Chain A
Amino acid sequence: MTLLSGTGIFQPTQITNIITPDLYEVDYENNVITVNACRVPSSLTSQPIGSITFSFIKLPDYITSTPPIKVYSYSDNAREDIIISDDEGVSLNADMMTPGVFEQVLFKPSNFYAFSDNVSYTLHVRPQHEMRPDSRIIIDMPPTLIFDQDRGC
């Protein structure tokens, strides 16, 4: 949460949409960002609209819907006079996320003789990001490879 940009009510000046660090504060402990918005007078319409983009937000480790990002707005510098309170917020839905990718480094049988029994396959993959201790690895084998469940892997 170190780079912010905005349009409409969040646009800091007429010539740039980058919200400089002097215009926002990040409370890392509580995961809260406070933005001094509404700086361009021309955007202050009766029904203002604007977009704000938070860069470098790390997505969850797995596909899941998140609790909402809650939005509040204050009319004063002291942030005492709240004018908008949106506890319902906006959530990141699971269908907006995609799984990570594995890089396949090696997938090699112990011998290359056709229809040979007792062949070992070595699978070596590199996940693109860290894996949790309780992660499960599921490998779908093609039907032409017969796996001896009694022996395991």
Chain B
Amino acid sequence: MAELGRAALIVTLGLTAYALVAGAAAAHIGRRRLARSAQNALVAAFGSTLVAAGVLLAALLRNDFSFVYVAQTTSEALPTAYTISAFWGGQEGSLLLWLLVLTGFGAAAVTLNRGWARDLVVWVVPVFAAVAFFFSFLVVVVASPFATQQAPLDGAGMTPSLQNPYMLAHPPLLYLGYVGLTVPFAFALGALISGRMDERWLVATRRWTLLAWTALGIGQLLGAHWAYEEVGWGGYYAWDPVENAALMPWLAATAFLHSVMIQEKRGMLRVWNVLLVILAFSLSLFGTFLTRSGVVNSIHSFTQSSIGPWFLGFIAVVVAVSLVIVFRRLPQLRSPTKLESPVSREAAFLYNNLLLLALCLAILWGVVYPMVSEAVRGEAVVLGRSYYDFFLRVFGLPLLLLMGIGPLVAWRRASLRSLGTTFRWPTAFALATGVVLLALGAGSSVPGLIAYTFSAFVAATIVLEFARGTRARKALGAASWPRAFSSLISRNRRRYGGYVVHAAIVLLAIGIAGSSAFDSVAEARLTQGQAMSIGDYRLTYQSLEERSAANATELRARFAVTRGERDLGMLEAGKNAYTVEQQVSNEVGIRSDPLTGEDLFVIAEQIDPDGTVYLRVFVKPLVNLIWIAGLVFLLGSVIALWPDAREQRRLVERTRDVGVPATR
């Protein structure tokens, strides 16, 4: 069936080429049926890509090793769930998934918006088609998942670290995020080319951007949890270039989600917003280039391939074409209003944008520096953790503070007296928290203490906003307090969903500060019966066990754990020896305290034949708040994403008033 997969991808290539050329021609000469035909081609491209994806999935599930891709990424012994995850575990399959999501998003975004923004959508189609054409070209010509061979008896298997439940969700979510950023890019460019610079492109893409941003955020958190549990080095984020590759577009998209509010509320920052959209999309392409080109060393990257130059060329074309189009539309992008005061909500959002962008560019410089230094000096110099930590503190801590300041400042301008009243309680709460923490010994890390104090400030502002809002809703006639609370959220989902997301960021900041600035580590060499201590934990090495799993031999050292007088039960740490892949992985032991959010994290670095274990043990305070932050983040995003019937009605009325023709 490889022929069917190949043919389906060739059909996709043809359809995207048609959508690009016919779509551009139709928009240029103003032909309605040709424009609709180009839109249909984009929808059909999703169908044909779906067929190709089905063929690959079937080959994976059948263990059809005549497919080179299947033989390289799976084996007979691989559990079915990981066999499915092999779809995105290798270069060619993940590109196919990218194309599938891209054509799916394109078809959906165009179909959903052509009714009320048809004059805009006609230019969105060729932009989308151009991106889809590039990816279908890659899977047809450069990295086909349908190359065949004489079938070997068994496959090479999957890298052990990828055999983890988090790998079932982490990569697809990142792809949803990366690819989702194509939607605002295509609409922004469509609006620029067509000259339809009204609000519709923002409205059409708002939820897509939020969806992509949420998927990128959750995908990164799942990746961090995977690194924490599976990679076994004691951390969750290593400033690895490929990890940074996902963080950079997320930061750019975060900046856009804030600055777009200024455009919607005040009609300002039009050029800035389209530039942010172009930046976010270009960074998502750049991240893909980093993962696939082999130019950086990362545990996350695919093997070195010839795909890099294609990506680099495409990124160059995207950036150059986009900037030329923006430049040509500059007169139309001029804002009708100006910033009235440096003390206003829009100013706070602007400062937030500058800090987000500064952090994003500092990370970008850190990522490209090894390549630049190699090109200039012939030696690749990697910027280490201290570089990134420095900029995270310099830009991240003020960002955290601004998260609390922004929502409490009025639009347009606020008087200092008013600010004094508004900030009185949050500031008092934050200072009291800081003093108490200092007394408890948190002064051992100044950045950690500042992060806690700022987090307390932001948390207080969020609680205050919800409390005041609910009280106001009750005064306006809500039947009960719960009703007042729910009506507060339902009447302004973006604002209050945003506050819930801010609460998630507070939890994240507390978790990161606690687990990185106030953690402790101990190492020991233990024989059976011996014990070691870290903080008030005590681990006694009880036994060593060997057992067989489906595709690996598991070796586990068992420890009895106590904390003070309390017995915490047994904890296991050890290694897995994978039979087919001939690789060994660390399997860490983690004991979480649900009350304090603290983890006892045990790595069996080495297990000697005589049973002696070399242990590295961490105590990570508050680390579980990071994972809880993921759930809160998701809740806030869902609230913000939820369709707003009132807004929909207003938009329909507006288009009806102007007479934008209905869909035929």
Chains A and B bind each other = no
